[in-house]
C-alpha cells in the first residue's frame, strides 16, 4: 500500500503552520532537557490556557463541571491534564499518554574525584544507549541539588554561549589498536563515562607556594609542620578543591550535597533545523518529547469534546516505567479518582468503569527507515520520515513478547476518524522479526481493559545523543492527536 509523502498533502497555509509549529517544538526541546524542566514548561503552558491545579482546587473545596480544565503534578516529574467533557466520566475518556524522560547520563551520589590532574564526575547511564556515542561531545549539566535544610538549588550549565561545557575523553586513534578490536558494546565501558569538569588546581597559600619554590626551607616548629602537612594534603586534590570552591561560591553547595542531588548529563546545544531544505529537526531527547509536545499542544487546542480529554506525561519509561513517577505507579489512577470526586461521580465502581471504557493513544516514537542500515528493517512494515503519524499495532520483541497488541476493531475505528479528518498516517513494526523490539507504556494502561494502540513520530538515530525527525511528521501527529481527542469513543 503506497501513500503520499506528507509534505505533498499540504497547501501553502499548512506549510507555514508546519514551520511555526516546528519552531515552538524546538523551543520546547531547548527548555525541557530533563523531566523536571519539561514539567515546568507544561505547567506554564497549561496555566496560560486556563488550567487550574487540581490539588489547589481540592484544598479549597472546589467542584468541576463540563468544560473545566485541571492539571496535577507528581514529584515534579510527571503531569496529567484533564478537560471535562460533555458526557459522564464513567463512560470513559480519550487519553493521550507519552513519556518525558530520555536516555542520558546520571551523576552518581558520590561522584566528584580527581585523577591525573583532572576533576571528574562519576556517572551511571540511564536507559538504552550506545555508550561510544557519548564520548568527545560537548555536554551540559542539568538538575537540582537539595540541601539538608530543604533548599533546592537548580543547576543549569552548558547551554548558554558563555557557559563552560563538559566532555568525556576518548583514546586517540594512534593508540587505539587494542580498543578497536573490541565489540562496539565494549569499546567504551559504562564506568568510563565520567565527565571531565576541570583541570586547574586551586591556588595554594603563600607559605605553601613558597615551599614549593624552595624559598622557605627552614622549620618553624611543630605548628609549621602541621600547617605544611595540611597544605600538602590539600595539594593532593587541588583540582577537586578548586571545583568545590566554585560550587560553593556560585551555588552555595557542599560536596555532601551531591548525596541528595539529581543531576543529568545531556548533550549541550540547541535543537537545530536539519537539511538544506530545513525539513528535519536534529536535537537531543526527541524520544519521547516529540510525542509529549504534540500531545500537549493537541490538548491545548481542543476546546470541546464529548468525552473528557486527558493528557498523561510520565517519567521512567526508559527504565521500565517503574518508581513513584513511572506509569506503573498509582499516580494516574489516583488523579482520575480525585477528578471524578470533584465532578460528583466518584465511586470505586465508576473509576473502574471510566478506565475500562477509555480509549488511549500510547504516544511513543517508532524507528524510521534508515537506507544505510536497510537490512535491519522490513521495508513493507517500517515507518518512513515524511510518511506521517505512525501506528504500531504491537511492540514487544520477537514473538510479540511484552507487547500490547491492539485489537482490529479499535484500529478500524481509529482509521475512520483519521480518514474523515484527512490525517496522513502509516503503520510500522520496530525492526525485522527476531531482530528488533521495544516497549512503551501501552501495556500498562491496557491492564485496565481500555483500548490502547501505540502511535507517534518516526525518529532517525533513536536513543543517540542527537535524534532526527521530520517537521511534517511532528505537525501531522499533533493534528492526529487533536482528531482523536475530538472523535474517539467506541
Looking up residue 137, the CATH number of its domain turns out to be 2.30.250.10
Q: What percent of the chain has pLDDT over 90?
A: 84
Task: Please indicate, yes or no, whether residues 196 and 317 belong to a single structural domain of this protein.
Answer: no
pLDDT score of 226? 67
Q: What percent of the chain has pLDDT over 70?
A: 93
- Say whether 441 sits in a helix, a strand or coil: coil
Residue where one domain finishes, among candidates 234, 267, 300: 267
Give the pLDDT band (50/70/90) at residue 232.
Answer: low
pLDDT above 70: residue 225: no
All three cell numbers of 409, joined, read: 476493531
Q: What average pLDDT does the segment 116-125 reach?
A: 97
Counting the structural domains of the chain, the total is: 2
Q: What average pLDDT does the segment 341-346 reach?
A: 97
pLDDT score of 435? 79
Distance separating alpha carbons of residues 156 and 30, to the nearest angstrom: 12
pLDDT score of 58? 96
Half-sphere exposure of 98 (CA within 13 A, CB side): 34
For residues 138 and 267, is the Cβ–Cβ distance under 8 A? Answer: yes
Domain with 450, as residue range(s), is 6-102+284-487
| Partners of 378 in the β-ladder | none
> 52-53 and 69-74 as β-strands: parallel, antiparallel, unpaired?
parallel
Q: What is the mean pLDDT of the chain?
A: 92
Give the pLDDT band (50/70/90) at residue 475.
Answer: very high
Task: Please indicate, yes or no, whether residues 377 and 472 belong to a single structural domain of this protein.
Answer: yes
Region label for 141, one of left (φ > 0), alpha (ψ between -120 and 50) or beta (otherwise): beta
Task: Please indicate, yes or no, whether residues 134 and 239 belong to a single structural domain of this protein.
Answer: yes
pLDDT score of 221? 58
DSSP 8-state assignment for residue 383:
B
Distances in Å between the Cα of 137 and the Cα atoms of 57, 123, 129, 165, 465 are: 46, 15, 15, 9, 9
For residues 251 and 130, is the Cβ–Cβ distance under 8 A? Answer: no
- Say whether 274 sits in a helix, a strand or coil: strand
Give the pLDDT band (50/70/90) at residue 224.
Answer: low
Residue where one domain finishes, among candidates 242, 267, 292: 267
Give the pLDDT band (50/70/90) at residue 210.
Answer: very low
pLDDT score of 227? 63
Secondary structure element (H or E) that encloses residue 82, with its range: strand 78-83
Task: Please indicate, yes or no, whether residues 345 and 457 belong to a single structural domain of this protein.
Answer: yes
Query: 299 in a domain, yes or no?
Result: yes
Instruction: Determine how many CB atoms are found less than 10 A away from the CB of residue 175.
Output: 8
Task: Please indicate, yes or no, whether residues 57 and 81 belong to a single structural domain of this protein.
Answer: yes
Distance separating alpha carbons of residues 98 and 310, to the nearest angstrom: 11
Task: Please indicate, yes or no, whether residues 68 and 159 belong to a single structural domain of this protein.
Answer: no
Distance separating alpha carbons of residues 163 and 137, to the nearest angstrom: 15
For residues 365 and 458, is the Cβ–Cβ distance under 8 A? Answer: yes
Task: Please indicate, yes or no, whether residues 309 and 243 belong to a single structural domain of this protein.
Answer: no
- pLDDT, tens only, 29-70: 999 999 999 999 999 999 999 999 999 999 999 999 999 999
Among the residue ranges 197-206, 250-259, 267-276, 382-391, the one predicted with the least confidence is 197-206
Distances in Å between the Cα of 98 and the Cα atoms of 246, 250, 316 are: 38, 36, 11
Task: Please indicate, yes or no, whether residues 203 and 293 belong to a single structural domain of this protein.
Answer: no
pLDDT above 70: residue 207: no
Residue where one domain finishes, among candidates 220, 238, 267: 267
Task: Please indicate, yes or no, whether residues 262 and 326 belong to a single structural domain of this protein.
Answer: no
Q: What average pLDDT does the segment 367-377 reach?
A: 93
Distance separating alpha carbons of residues 108 and 194, to the nearest angstrom: 10
Distance separating alpha carbons of residues 456 and 363, to the nearest angstrom: 5
| Nearest CA-CA partner of 285 in 102, 163, 151 | 102
pLDDT score of 487? 83
- pLDDT, tens only, 306-319: 999 999 999 999 99
- Say whether 34 sits in a helix, a strand or coil: coil
Query: 277 in a domain, yes or no?
Result: no
Distance separating alpha carbons of residues 355 and 196, to the nearest angstrom: 48
pLDDT score of 342? 98
pLDDT score of 234? 61
Task: Please indicate, yes or no, whether residues 188 and 298 belong to a single structural domain of this protein.
Answer: no
For residues 269 and 86, is the Cβ–Cβ distance under 8 A? Answer: no
All three cell numbers of 421, joined, read: 479528518
- pTM exceeding 0.85: yes
pLDDT above 80: residue 179: yes
Q: What average pLDDT does the segment 276-294 reach?
A: 97
All three cell numbers of 480, joined, read: 492526529
Task: Please indicate, yes or no, whether residues 440 and 372 belong to a single structural domain of this protein.
Answer: yes
Distance separating alpha carbons of residues 14 and 449, to the nearest angstrom: 37
Query: 80 in a domain, yes or no?
Result: yes
For 195-209, give the DSSP string.
EEEE-PPPPPPHHHH
pLDDT score of 439? 82
Give the pLDDT band (50/70/90) at residue 147.
Answer: very high
Amino acid at each position: 500500500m503506497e501513500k503520499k509523502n506528507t509534505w505533498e498533502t499540504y497547501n501553502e497555509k499548512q506549510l507555514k503552520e508546519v514551520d511555526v509549529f516546528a519552531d515552538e517544538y524546538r523551543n520546547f526541546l531547548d527548555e525541557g532537557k530533563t523531566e523536571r524542566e519539561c514539567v515546568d514548561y507544561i505547567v506554564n503552558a497549561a496555566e496560560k490556557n486556563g488550567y487550574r491545579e487540581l490539588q489547589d482546587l481540592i484544598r479549597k473545596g472546589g467542584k468541576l463541571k463540563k468544560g473545566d480544565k485541571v492539571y496535577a503534578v507528581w514529584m515534579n516529574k510527571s503531569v496529567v491534564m484533564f478537560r471535562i467533557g460533555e458526557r459522564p466520566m464513567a463512560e470513559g475518556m480519550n487519553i493521550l499518554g507519552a513519556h518525558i524522560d530520555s536516555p542520558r547520563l546520571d551523576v552518581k551520589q558520590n561522584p566528584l574525584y580527581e585523577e591525573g590532574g583532572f576533576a571528574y564526575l562519576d556517572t551511571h547511564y540511564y536507559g538504552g544507549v550506545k555508550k561510544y556515542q557519548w564520548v568527545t561531545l560537548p555536554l551540559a549539566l542539568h538538575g537540582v541539588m537539595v540541601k539538608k535544610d530543604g533548599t533546592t538549588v537548580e543547576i543549569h550549565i552548558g547551554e548558554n554561549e558563555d557557559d563552560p561545557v563538559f566532555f568525556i575523553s576518548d583514546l586517540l586513534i594512534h593508540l587505539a589498536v587494542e580498543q578497536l578490536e573490541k565489540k562496539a558494546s565494549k569499546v567504551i565501558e559504562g564506568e568510563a563515562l565520567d565527565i571531565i569538569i576541570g583541570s586547574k588546581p586551586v591556588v595554594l597559600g603563600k607559605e605553601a607556594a613558597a615551599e614549593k619554590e624552595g624559598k622557605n626551607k627552614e622549620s618553624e616548629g611543630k605548628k609549621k609542620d602541621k600547617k605544611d602537612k595540611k597544605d600538602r594534603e590539600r595539594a593532593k586534590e587541588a583540582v577537586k578543591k578548586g571545583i568545590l570552591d566554585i560550587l560553593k561560591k556560585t551555588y552555595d553547595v557542599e560536596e555532601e550535597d551531591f548525596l541528595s542531588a539529581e543531576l543529568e548529563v545531556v548533550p549541550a546545544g540547541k535543537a537545530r533545523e536539519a537539511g538544506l531544505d530545513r525539513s528535519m529537526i536534529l536535537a537531543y531527547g526527541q524520544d519521547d518529547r516529540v510525542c509529549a509536545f504534540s500531545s500537549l499542544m493537541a490538548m491545548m487546542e481542543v476546546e470541546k469534546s464529548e468525552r473528557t480529554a486527558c493528557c498523561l506525561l510520565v517519567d521512567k519509561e526508559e527504565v521500565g516505567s517503574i518508581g513513584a513517577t513511572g506509569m506503573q505507579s498509582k499516580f494516574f489512577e489516583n488523579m482520575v479518582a480525585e477528578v471524578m470526586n470533584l465532578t460528583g461521580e466518584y465511586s470505586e465502581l465508576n473509576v473502574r468503569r471510566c478506565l475500562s471504557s477509555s480509549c488511549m493513544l500510547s504516544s511513543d516514537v517508532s524507528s524510521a527507515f534508515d537506507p544505510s542500515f536497510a537490512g535491519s528493517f522490513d521495508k513493507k512494515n517500517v515507518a518512513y520520515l515524511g510518511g506521517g503519524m505512525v501506528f504500531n499495532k504491537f511492540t514487544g520483541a520477537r514473538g510479540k513478547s511484552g507487547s500490547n497488541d491492539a485489537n482490529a476493531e479499535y484500529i478500524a475505528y481509529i482509521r475512520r476518524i483519521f480518514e474523515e479528518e484527512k490525517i496522513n498516517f502509516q503503520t510500522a513494526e520496530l525492526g525485522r522479526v527476531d531482530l528488533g523490539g521495544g516497549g512503551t507504556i501501552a501495556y500498562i494502561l491496557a491492564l485496565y481493559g481500555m483500548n490502547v494502540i501505540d502511535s507517534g513520530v518516526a525518529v532517525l538515530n533513536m536513543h543517540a545523543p542527537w535524534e532526527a525527525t521530520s517537521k511534517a511528521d511532528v505537525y501531522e501527529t499533533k493534528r492526529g492527536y487533536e482528531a482523536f481527542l475530538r472523535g474517539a469513543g467506541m
